[in-house]
Structure 1
Amino acid sequence: MKRILTLMLMLAMVITISAEKKAKYVFYFITDGTGVNTVLGAEMYNAEMQGRIGRVPFCMTSFPIVGVASTYSNNSGVTDSAASGSALATGVKTENGALGMRPDLKTPVTSIAVWAKEAGMKVGVASSVTINHATPAAFYAHQPKRSLSYDIAKDMIATDLDFYGGSAVEKAEDPKNHPGAPCIYKEMEKAGYAVAFGMADYQKKAKKAKKMLLVQDPKHLNPASDIYSLPYAIDVKDGEMTIEDILRAEIEFLMRDNKNGFFLMNEIGGKVDWACHGHDGATAFAEVGAVDRCIKIAYEFYKQHPDETLIVLTADHETGGLVLANNGLYALNLKALGNQKVSIDGFTQVLRDLRKQTSNKVTWEQAKQALTDNFGFWTALELTKDEEASLQKVWHESFEGKAEDVKNEYTANEPLAEEARHIINTKALISWSTNGHSAGLVPVYAIGVGSEQFMGHNDNAQIPVKIAKAAGYNIPEYLK
């Protein structure tokens, strides 16, 4: 009993000391579509790649505070990214599809990014997808529909944060819905922002810039896509900007001539969601690895400012209903995913390049070689007769023009790419329960000043309020 009382007293002292401090530097990370199993699966995959059963802990999962969060919205048990992003940003539950507004879709609410700005902090909002995509937009926009991309982008200028970063501004010009309206990039420049296209351009402009918009160099964006994004970690090529690059730039820019501190939100895992919508296990696990590399960057900062820093990582929702099991077998074979060299989107591009090279007359031998090179089929991974027959059937139907591309939430892929995905997932013994989001719990990891608040079960709308308390920001009366 005496020992228990001593431990309780020590814990109370820690909480009291922590309560007296304020988080001068706040890292608020969101990894889109990432459930508990998404992180665990990536850790177990890393262990299998080392030749053992178990998990290789990430930096984030080694944080002293580990919790979970529920994600339901105001009108649905299964949220979308706009409603969940709004809860994580504003502390207010809203309708699916809405950004920074009450459920009446008329009344705007402010976000923790604005609370931090009002407290004198420098503030940055960034993402691995477009900066006016749902999750980052929730921190500065007030719109009833997440599809209003141009209007959301204008809200960036109105909210006037110090740093914005992402792959691009979606619909920077929108002649269909806003004929004659000016380009957002030009409007950002008029508002005093330096607009940098890629890291080399950022380095040229950052020193003299008072405010910054950093996006990918257009030559690295896919002009065939309606939604631009940074490349998947599994696909990244030399010269392409990564989410790690954006994070380093965000920290560097916000720290310049900064006496008061900063609030930094970064959707470091924006494309975990995309991979899980497409049931692309290897790509999803590689994206989680990229998320953890960002966490390591923040953790290095924390070690230099341990008494002034708070790092919080969570997710807006789970996507795909990932199950670490398949066919009733009590086993996993995650190392099979190590043979996948590109995302399913990337392999689709490989096949489309083959179509161009052969005037759309891709032979089975050529398709088979591409499958071997990118999935290890027939070499590292032995195929059954049924699996080979299935691939050959899809190849025949596809290249004879009888099969259409397979669509998911964000992309449309070659049928042969989709069949390869299905086979390698089956061999890895993983499965998926939905093509969309689920209500599954998401993880919460935290370290630093005020981090003890995040232990246990959190509702997503509680998280910004808890961060604000740790940092000493003024919280709106309606949240008290």
Structure 2
Amino acid sequence: MKKLIYSLFFVLISVAANGQAKYIFYFIGDGMGVNQVNGTEMYQAELQNGRIGVEPLLFTQFPVATMATTFSATNSVTDSAAAGTALATGKKTYNHAISVGEDKNAIQTVAEQAKKAGKKVGVTTSVSVDHATPAAFYAHQPDRNMYYEIALDLPKANFDFYAGGGFLKPTTSFDKKDAPSIFPIFEEAGYTVARGYNDYKAKAGKADKMILIQEEGANPSCLPYAIDRKEGDLTLAQITESAIDFLTKGKNKGFFLMVEGGKIDWACHSNDVATVFNEVKDMDNAIKVAYEFYKKHPKETLIVVTADHETGGIVLGTGKYELNLKALQYQNHSADGLSQRISELRKAKGNKVTWEDMKEFLGKEMGFWKELPISWEQERALHDEFEKSFVKNKVVFAESMYSKSEPMAACAKRVMNEIAMVGWVSGGHSAGFVPVFAIGAGSHLFGEKIDNTEIPKRIAKAGGYK
């Protein structure tokens, strides 16, 4: 019944999809290729209904759906900076560039166009505010790793609302020199800094411009993975809700809001399938917040959902013509979270962890042996890693782009991939198509296969930006 209601509503509002968009939501799932989306829906079907098929996410039911190419100006496989620049400016550039061209000159972004058109503007993410994708909407720098310099561009853009985990280099310049803290600079530019959702609610009423980050002491690089979340952690849905609240207060001329689900990419770099699917679902929860706003303003709102690139080359099926995605429900934490707990186990046992201790631990954390049968080969792989790490104390941490994992956690993750029958091509990006979904005013502009550079151009057209 719920799906039928959604379908009928989509048909009814599609009639109004040709008007100008006063309110624009631009969701970017970093690393979210077609199979990340399809896999999440197939996992939901197995988990919720015990059946083969798909249980749709909200955004995949939008009436317009297509796909986009992602190559950069210099590489067949893009990085997030060049892809973010393409999605922000409609121009190709070199890998690592933040909204500058190959000549290093700044390129105007769709967010800057929206601001010039009199709209309020928000740039938000589940990773750091100075990371590649959000940075591409407000900053202009030749290298994505210029975090301090990117942060200095934030008040220059003069957007109304920023949000994310925090800032990576608040007092250190790109050339590794001490520099004045960015936070007084933000405050001098008229920004109120809120640390956490409750602090936002306390300060938002009197703030002219807002930066929402996590509470003091939290990891500034990102929000916690959805699978690891604890009560009180800031979420992407709360950030989206706060952005809408802030951008619609006072004189309402409309807004442009970019929301990035940044940790889909991080989990894909780690080849951590359970965490990936939970991150995709978490972004869908943020999109639901936007959709509730959309239902109140269907003739004036556009929601576009896409990705900057695919990460990991995820494969749904490893040759057996079947999947076992429901096994993923027994993984209680991300590979990073599991790694942390293994380190804690070492300390608790005084580095005298037994194989039986490890079996009990993995049974609780991953469902191995208790809920999920383990083959002889899989148990041997786990036991061999245990012998190396805990008996011989040869601990070589497994590294992906954004994390280092206890080797035992990395091995357990590989075993879970085998059980779920999910494969990975690499720990990096691929050139695969990314999906594009749209609903609302101007959504008809997204009807055929396109390049990623077309997306911001069509958003600007839908919003009437010059």
TM-score range (shorter-chain normalised) is over 0.9
- Structure 2 counterparts to residues 60-459 of structure 1, below 5 A: 60-104=59-103, 106-174=104-172, 177=175, 179-221=177-219, 228-267=221-260, 269-326=261-318, 328-399=319-390, 400-459=392-451
What letter corresponds to residue 435 of structure 1 in structure 2? G
Matched letter for residue 323 of structure 1: V
> Does the 8 A contact of 2:87 with 2:308 survive in 1?
yes
Structure 1 residue runs of 5 or longer lacking an equivalent are 1-10, 222-226, 475-480
Which of 22, 27, 45 is equivalent to 1:47?
A: 45
Are the equivalent residues in 1 in contact too, given 2:42–2:54 (CA < 8 A)?
yes
- For residues 300 and 199 of structure 1, the distance between their equivalents in structure 2, rounded to whole angstroms, comes to 20
Task: Tell me what 1:224 maps to.
Answer: none
Secondary structure of the corresponding residue to residue 340 of structure 2? helix
Misfit runs of 4+, over 6 Å:
none
Task: Report which stretch shifted further, 363-372 or 186-195.
Answer: 363-372
The percent identity for this pair of structures is 50
1:236 corresponds to which letter in structure 2?
Answer: R
Deviations 1:53-76 (A, max 9, x none): 000011100000001010000011
Instruction: Report if aligned partners of 2:147, 2:173 keep a CA contact under 8 Å in 1.
Output: no
- Unpaired runs of at least 5, structure 2: 1-10
Inter-partner Cα distance in structure 2 for 1:170 and 1:469? 34
CA contact 1:307–1:448 (8 Å) conserved in 2? yes
Q: Distance in 2 between matches of 1:261 and 1:80?
A: 32
- TM-score w.r.t. length of structure 2: 0.95
For residues 216 and 413 of structure 1, the distance between their equivalents in structure 2, rounded to whole angstroms, comes to: 24
Post-superposition offset of 1:396: 1.7
Partners in 1 of 2:295 and 2:174 — Cα distance? 49
The alpha carbon displacement at 1:103 in A equals 1.3
TM-score of the pair, normalised by structure 1 = 0.92
Size of the alignment, in residue pairs?
Answer: 452
Give the 3-state SS of the residue equivalent to 2:199 in structure 1: helix
Q: Quick check: 1:122–1:258 contact (8 Å CA) kept in 2?
A: no
Give 1:218 shift.
2.6
What's the CA shift string for 1:334-372, capped at 9, x where partnerless?
Answer: 111111111000000111111222232222222211101
After TM superposition, give the deviation of residue 401 of structure 1 in Å. Answer: 2.1
CA distance in 2, matches of 1:79, 1:87: 10
Q: CA deviation at 1:258?
A: 3.3
Question: Partner of 1:473 in structure 2?
Answer: 465
Please say if residues 126 and 164 of structure 1, whose CA atoms lie closer than 8 Å, have aligned partners that are also in contact: yes
Q: Quote the residue 2:5 is aligned against.
A: none
Contact 1:84 1:317 in 2 (8 A): yes
Report the 3-state secondary structure (helix = DSSP H, G, I; strand = E; otherwise coil) of the residue aligned with 1:276. helix
Query: Could you give the per-residue CA deviations for residues 136-188 of structure 1, whole angstroms, max 9, x where no partner exists?
Result: 00001111110111001101111111001000011111168353421111211
Cα shift at 1:18? 4.8
The question of whether the paired residues in 1 share the 8 Å contact of 2:148 and 2:174 is answered with no
Deviations along 1:364-415, one digit per CA (max 9) or x if unpaired, are 2222111011110011101122211211110121123213100001100011
Q: Secondary structure at the match of 2:105?
A: coil
Name the aligned partner's letter for residue 100 of structure 1: S
Q: Distance in 1 between matches of 2:348 and 2:201?
A: 38
1:219 counterpart SS class: coil
State which drifts further: 83-92 or 348-357: 348-357
User: What is the rounded CA distance, in whole Å, between the counterparts of 2:279 and 2:174 in structure 1?
Assistant: 34
